Amino acid sequence: MSLLTDIADAIYDGDLDTVVAQTNSAIQNETPALEILEKGLMAGMDRVGQDFKAGDLFIPEVLIASRAMQAGMEILKPLLVTQKIKSPGKIILGTVQGDLHDIGKNLVAIMLQGAGFEVIDLGVDVSKEVFLKAIIENKPNLVGMSSLLTTTMPQMPEIIETIKQAGLRDHVKIMVGGAPLNENYAQKIGADGYAQNSSIAVELAKSLINT
């Protein structure tokens, strides 16, 4: 098996030590950093995402795999920067004000990073002012909002309205997610899409970037 296959398998298994060792070996063998990223790290996370979506993997396995992927990314980052590798897009994520749930958001961040996106995670309990400031400062392609409580769902249309009032709505696509939400609610509040889970979030982000 090739080093890149070994890396992908180790990502899937959450084997951090092997990911680090084989990533370093691939670099020593002069394998291009982008190839290591795409055919090693991202290939492994793609499999994790597919099996998580299918119900064959669960949150603990995804978190362990993501830790292994992050270790490989830390090694590759300096090389990717020098090679000026372009990510598919930049996304700002946050759980809306009044809501402290972050597991779903964190999984989305992990899977998006695994797909090569530049992720700016604002954390939890994020106000509309903080979302707006982050959009102005970072100029993302996408904004992702999460709400796990029915009581905090109304924050989402307020954030969208704040973005509109600032004249920035045409510059960003907005995706939403969270247990109490659905596609109808996303359309009602003027979001561009709804993601039921982290795997769908990656597919949605890619499709929104390309529209």
Conformational region of residue 72, where left means phi above 0, alpha means psi within -120 to 50, and beta covers everything else: alpha
Together in a domain, 17 and 103: no
Q: What's the CATH number where 147 sits? A: 3.40.50.280
DSSP letter for 32, please: -
pLDDT in tens, the chain (211 residues): 589 999 999 999 999 999 999 999 999 999 998 899 889 998 998 899 889 888 898 888 988 998 898 899 889 888 876 766 677 899 999 999 999 988 888 888 888 887 889 999 999 999 999 999 999 999 999 999 999 999 999 999 999 999 999 999 999 999 999 989 999 999 999 999 999 888 789 889 999 998 7
Together in a domain, 202 and 183: yes
Together in a domain, 143 and 170: yes
pLDDT of amino acid 1: 53
Together in a domain, 127 and 63: no
pLDDT of amino acid 84: 64
Together in a domain, 16 and 50: yes
Which tokens in the block code for residue 125? 């309990």
Together in a domain, 78 and 94: no
Conformational region of residue 31, where left means phi above 0, alpha means psi within -120 to 50, and beta covers everything else: beta
Together in a domain, 160 and 96: yes
Which tokens in the block code for residue 205? 């982000």
Burial bucket for residue 84 (CB in 10 Å: 0-12, 13-18, 19+) = exposed
Q: Domain span at residue 152?
A: 90-209
pTM tops 0.85, yes or no:
no
What is the rounded distance in angstroms from the CA atom of residue 119 to the CA atom of residue 82? 19
In the chain, the number of structural domains is 2
Together in a domain, 156 and 184: yes
Together in a domain, 77 and 97: no
Show the beta-strand stretches assigned E in 37-138: 90-95, 118-121
